[in-house]
Structure formats: structure tokens, C-alpha cells
Amino acid sequence: MRVATFHWQGREAVGVVDGDEIVDVSGVAPSMLALVQGGSAALEAARQAAGQAQRLRLDQVRLLAPFPRPTKNVFCLGLNYKDHVAEGARSRSMDLKLPEYPVWFTKAVTSICGPYDDIPVDSAISTQYDWEVELAVIVGPAGRRIPKERVFEHVWGYCVFNDFSVRDIQRRHGGQWFKGKSLDRASPMGPWLVSADEVPRPDHLQVISRVNGELKQNANTEQMIFDIPTMLADLSEVLTLEPGDIIATGTPSGVGFARTPPEFLKPGDVMETEIEGLGLLRNRIVADS
Ligand code: ZN
């Protein structure tokens, strides 16, 4: 099932997406977090409710990020595709060194924006705004010290994510990426969550980004260094994963800073982020004034 958070007639609602229509199921789940916390029973109730409720056309409503304000920072994996690690090393004339353990960092909750929202950037702060298509994993039932072979029992579903990055800020704050990854309202997510039962092979999904229609990233999740079982087992070794936690699983090669010459986003550009079977985000970069 596909479920989205949307804004319609002055309120925020949760809806089941069916083709180019959306059905308000806020009666059974007042928020996306409530839906995810409710597990399979809530999902089934939403499915039932969707059969009876009023249908709206998707273009009549404004889709928001599935979690407009997540309960925690987004957990992100850095350096999880070999060709991306290689392009980063090459662009800085360093030797290629693959990570031995997953490299974790987080993004502030205020960095999240909707699937079609404008992204405000300020050239006085930086001119190095960059794209990163990523598969996001949404945690379902809570778990701590989850063994690899049981990880998928704790996955609610998936969505498209762009780990929007401010490269000079990311670099200059010595080995800690948090600030460069946390620009306000710049990391789009969505356009909806797709429940895990509809994504039988999350390790075989094409991940794509485009800028102004030009292909920039085009890879497959099978190229990940650390797969989904490894990353959730690793993180849950020390912290309890909870319903609604978001895990961004890393980006492949083709980002702006590593291109020759480097390319960055500027006002007027349109960034598209797409994952096979999950959907497409389209965001215009605008001047933050
Ligand atoms: Zn990333």
C-alpha cells in the first residue's frame, strides 16, 4: 500500500494513494506516525477505510513529506556505494579506502521538506548545494540488538529521499557532517511511503537523480557496501530503533562536487530524485530571501 501525508482544506491528513487518487483515512490514523505505530492492524484498517471514503485527485491536494516533522533526526549512512567513495577520493586526490564499518551521521528534523516543495538556498551562506538520491527505510516495530536475519520484521516500508548537502559546510566542520547536511527545508522525502509487502527486493532498485532533466545519478541498490540487514543490525546494537525512524541508506556516484568540473545547484534549477517502483520527487531550487 502507498500512504501519504497531505494538506487539504486547511488541515493535514493521511491518505491511501491509489493511482492518481488519494483517499483520506485520517479517521483510522490521524498521522503517519500513528499509522506506522499501529502496525499491520492499522494498515488493514486503512485499507478497509479507503474502500469507503471520499476519493480526491492527487493534483487537488498538496503532498507533504510522509513525516512532516520526524520524531528523531534522520539516520544516514555515508559512503555506502563503492563508486561514490571512489569519486570522493578521486576529487580530493586521496587513496580509495572503503569503510570497514557503517559510517553513521544524522540530519536535523527541520531539514525535511515535501516531495514537490521549493528548496530555498542562500548564496551568501554557500554556493555548493548538492544532490544525493537515497533509498529511505522506514522502521516499523521497535527493536534493539536486532539480528540480521530478523531485520525485515522491523521494516515498515520505504520511500525516496534526497540527502541534500552543503559541501563546503560539510567539509569545513572537521569530520562531522551534521551542519552541512541539515539545511532547513532542503531534503525532500516521499512522495509517499510504500509498505514493505510491495517492495519484495529493496536490494534491487534503480536509484536515479536528474538536474534540469539531465541524468546525474543512475545506480542500483544492489551496489550498496552495507545492505539493509547489516545497517539495521549495526545501528540497533546500541540504540533502540522505533516506529517511524528514518534510515537514509547512502548515495551512489554522480553527485555534483565530484564531477569534472564540479556542479552545484542554484536558484531556478529543478532537481528530480527517483527510485524504481517508489516514486519521484521534483523540487525547484529558489533563492532564500
Ligand atoms: Zn547521503
From the number of C-beta atoms within 10 Å of its C-beta (0-12, 13-18, 19+), residue 19 rates as: exposed
Residue 168 and residue 151: Cα distance in Å, rounded? 36
Q: How high is the pLDDT of residue 173?
A: 86
CA of 204 to the centre of ligand 1 (A): 18
pLDDT, residue 289, reads 77
The single residue listed with the C-alpha cell 534522520 is 74
Collapsed DSSP state (helix, strand, coil) of residue 266: coil
- Ligand 1 center to 132 CA (angstroms): 6
Q: How far away, in angstroms, is 227 Cα from ligand 1 center?
A: 15
Cβ atoms of residues 18 and 207 within 8 Å: no
- Dist. CA 131 → ligand 1 center (Å): 9
Place of cell 512522495: 191
Q: How far apart are CA 219 and CA 87, in angstroms?
A: 14
Non-local (6+) Cβ contacts of 101 within 8 A are 234
**Ligand 1 centre distance from Cα of residue 143 (Å):** 24
User: What's the residue count for the chain?
Assistant: 289
At 239 the pLDDT is 98
Across the chain, which has 289 residues, the per-10-residue mean pLDDT values are: 96 96 95 97 95 92 98 96 92 91 97 98 97 98 98 98 97 89 98 98 98 98 97 98 98 96 98 98 95
What DSSP string runs through 105-173?
EEE-GGGEE-TT--EEE-TTT-S-EE--EEEEEEE-S-BSS--GGGGGGGEEEEEEEE--EEHHHHHHS
- Ligand 1 mean position to 135 CA, how many Å? 10
- Cα(46) to centroid of ligand 1, in Å? 32
Cα-based torsion angle of the residue sequence 164, 169, 175, 178 in order, rounded to the nearest 10 degrees: -50
Q: How many CB atoms are closer than 10 A to CB 229?
A: 17
Report the C-alpha gap between 129 and 139 in whole angstroms: 29
CA of 24 to the centre of ligand 1 (A): 32
What's phi and psi for 88, nearest 5 deg? -65, -45
Specify the pTM. Answer: 0.97
The Å distance, Cα 47 to ligand 1 centre, comes to: 33
* Integer Cα distance of 288 and 267 in angstroms: 9
Cα 79 to middle of ligand 1, angstroms: 8
Q: Give the Cα-Cα-Cα angle 23, 188, 205 (nearest 5 degrees).
A: 80
